[in-house]
Amino acid sequence: MGLLTGKRALIMGLANDNSIAWGISKALHAEGAELCFTFVGEALEKRVRPLAASLGTTFVEPCDVASDSDITNLFARIKEVWGTFDILIHAVAFAKKDELNGDYLNVTREGFHIAMDISVYSLTGIIKAARPLINSGGSIVTLTYHGSQQVAQNYNVMGVAKAALEASVRYLASDLGPQNIRVNAISAGPIRTLAASGIAGFKDLLKSFAGVAPLRRNVTQEDVGNTALFLASDLSSATTGEIIYVDAGFRNISIKTE
């Protein structure tokens, strides 16, 4: 018996085998969870389908979280195929690339709106549609970054969005708690993924992070996957509304030389 035997998990935000969602998917699958994946666009469908197949599922559905009708259709399909489910992984974020550079103050109204819609509102919009299908004992996990709490160079509007996402986790945990559904976030240290590629200076960021972090290393998709497994399982049965750091201890260090 695995920790998640008999549980069904919806994974949103798998792009490729570097995705944090992939580390989480492997950890949940290894403990017996049955998986469903979403993708956005045909290019990503071609990547996601073989990855899904390698974890024993063909249940792969389109969902652009900017679209209310995509969200409605997704949960209509889940109702049809599964009836109910237990675990929701939200590993989705987006800001326009030119907002992740230079001064935060250069943000535009449109750029602010897009980052907030895709990276923040989506969690609430998805849960609103999913709620009738989630079993008692269910668990919802989203991904955040410490740039929500302290200024992280170039993270800019995403830092503001993650602060709002973390506040959403607390309100959603309050709303869903009486139904015995938990809502938590993992605050991960920087990891090289598609969403991190093309960020100027990311290599230097990883290097200085590992130099400062108490564990003197970077964080892996497996590190995050194992914490997501804990949060998805009954091992975390009285933990909700929390932001759990998987950052090798980085956020506790103030200033460090040599």
Q: Which stretch binds ligand NAD (CB under 6 A): 77-85, 86-94, 104-112, 235-243?
A: 86-94
Marked catalytic residue, from 104, 121, 155, 245: 155
Q: Is 116 in the site for ligand NAD (CB under 6 A)?
A: no
79-118 mask for ligand 0WE (x: CB under 6 A)?
Answer: --------------xxx-x--x------------------
Beta bridge partners of 185: 142, 243
Q: What's the closest the beta carbon of residue 8 comes to ligand NAD, in angstroms?
A: 20
Q: What is the 3-state secondary structure (H, E, C) of 154-166?
A: CCCHHHHHHHHHH
Q: Is 111 in the site for ligand NAD (CB under 6 A)?
A: no
Which entry of ligand 0WE, ligand NAD, none binds 129, CB below 5 to 8 A by partner kind?
A: none
192-221 mask for ligand 0WE (x: CB under 6 A)?
Answer: ---xx-xx----------------------
Classify 79 as helix, strand or coil: helix
Site for ligand NAD in 197-256 (CB under 6 A): none
CB nearer ligand NAD, residue 19 or residue 240: 19
Among 175, 107, 144, residue whose Cα is nearest residue 251: 144
Phi, psi of 67 (to 5 degrees): -110, 120
How would you class 43 by CB atoms within 10 Å of its CB: exposed for 0-12, middle for 13-18, buried for 19 or more? exposed
Q: Which stretch binds ligand NAD (CB under 6 A): 17-25, 74-82, 97-105, 208-216?
A: 17-25
8-12 and 34-39 beta bridge pairing: parallel
# of chain residues touching ligand 0WE (CB under 6 A): 15
> What separation, in Å, do the N-terminal and C-terminal C-alpha atoms of the chain show?
48
Q: Residue 109 and residue 101: Cα distance in Å, rounded?
A: 16
Q: Residue 125 and residue 67: Cα distance in Å, rounded?
A: 10
Classify 219 as helix, strand or coil: coil
The binding site for ligand 0WE (CB under 6 A) comprises 93-95, 97, 100, 145, 152, 154-155, 158, 190, 195-196, 198-199
